[in-house]
Amino acid sequence: MNNEQGWLNIYKPRGISSFNVVYKIKKKFNLKKIGHGGTLDPLAEGVLPVAIGKTTKLIPFINKDIKEYEFTIKWCEQTSTDDSEGEVIARSSKIPSPLEITNQILKMKGNLLQKPPYASAVKINGKKAYKLLREKKTFEIKDKLVFIDEVSLLSSYTQTSKFFIRCGKGFYIRSFARDLGAKLSTKAHIISLKRIKVGKFEAKSANLLDDLLNIRQRLFEFRGFHSSSSMLDDILAYEIDDEKDITSISQGKSIKLDIKKLIKPPLDLTDEKIIFLTVRKNVVSFGKLSGDLFKPNKVLL
């Protein structure tokens, strides 16, 4: 089995795109396959999960995870990009009070509709929105259903306020700032954004990009390198050690599992559930469990 797979928890600095972070790591370690979960804007910093090798097939599971951010909003100005990179397109003289802000964000929880920023990677008829914006084309972006678990005001000054938010997949902090400004009868945009958590990936245990690029040992000997299953949050896993089963899985065949050996088995196994098969803590396949029969959806061998 190819063991060159796993996760890196990288702290993306400001001023570099998520794509460039991945490119630098790929070039440094001469990797064939690499990808990242949850794009961060160049002006944003923080946790960027990076998948190595066949672990890239697990990125969709990371993207579903709850994410946490700290960010600062500047009041009285709206920009073309909803952050400090864009041009100011509207102004207001109203600065909301901490009480007004707190009262409003208390209403902004649970599932809600959100319009992504015009300067985003959302596709409009196959073309990315930010490219259409650069070309000064007129276009509309549809609202998307997003989720806020928690939002709180951390501090407030004359023209800026700092927030914490815990939110779900596809949530745009820039859109939140724009919409909050509108609800408070003013204008607003993001001036700083830090992602502090994505599932099990946390800022406090993330590796600085420069530190990683300066190491001399092999990537897989690096202390910040994690097995493909260890960073998946709240999963149903099964460790296999039978060579016949490993061969069957590599051929995309179904195998029978001993339900008693499931790692963290759920109370109810009546519904078909996604299960991850592991060998030495690396995911080799994921698929559906029907009774005691595992049917692979994807094979990572």
Residues 6+ apart with CB under 8 A from 73: 160, 161, 162, 163, 177, 180, 181, 188, 189, 190, 191
pTM for this predicted structure: 0.89
Q: To the nearest 10°, report the CA torsion of 50, 53, 57, 59.
A: 0
Domain topology for 6-65+200-226 = Pseudouridine synthase (3.30.2350)
Q: Is 179 a catalytic residue?
A: no
How far apart, in whole angstroms, are the C-alpha atoms of residue 149 and residue 168?
A: 8
- CA-nearest of 252, 251, 256, 281 to 58 is 281
In this prediction, residue 271 carries a pLDDT of: 61
Residue 252 DSSP symbol = T
Q: Indicate if 237-299 has the same CATH topology as 67-189.
A: no
CA distances from 81 to 17, 70, 135, 193, 233 (A): 16, 19, 14, 14, 33
Q: Indicate the CATH number of 67-189 among 3.40.630.10, 3.30.1360.20, 3.40.50.920, 3.30.2350.10.
A: 3.30.2350.10
* Per-residue pLDDT tens over the stretch 255-268: 999 888 887 665 55
Catalytic residue among 41, 82, 83, 245: 41
In tens digits, the chain (301 residues) has pLDDT values of: 345 789 999 999 999 999 999 999 999 999 999 999 988 988 999 999 999 999 999 999 998 889 999 999 999 999 999 999 999 999 999 999 999 999 999 999 999 999 988 887 788 888 888 888 888 888 888 899 999 999 999 999 989 999 999 999 999 999 999 999 999 999 999 999 999 999 999 999 999 999 999 998 888 888 899 999 888 877 788 899 889 999 999 999 999 998 888 876 655 555 667 889 999 888 999 999 888 889 999 999 8
In this prediction, residue 1 carries a pLDDT of: 38
How far apart, in whole angstroms, are the C-alpha atoms of residue 225 and residue 208?
A: 13
Angle formed at CA 68 by CA 211 and CA 118, multiple of 5 degrees: 95
Under CATH, which number does the domain 237-299 receive? 2.30.130
Domain ranges in the chain? 6-65+200-226, 67-189, 237-299
Tokens 């997003």 label which residue? 146
Helix, coil or strand: residue 196: strand
In this prediction, residue 270 carries a pLDDT of: 54
Helix, coil or strand: residue 36: strand
CA distances from 253 to 117, 180, 263, 294 (A): 44, 51, 22, 9
Residue 228 DSSP symbol = T
In this prediction, residue 268 carries a pLDDT of: 57
> Which structure tokens are listed for 19?
């794509």
In this prediction, residue 269 carries a pLDDT of: 56
> Which structure tokens are listed for 169?
């997949």
Angle formed at CA 177 by CA 146 and CA 89, multiple of 5 degrees: 125
How far apart, in whole angstroms, are the C-alpha atoms of residue 8 and residue 222?
A: 9
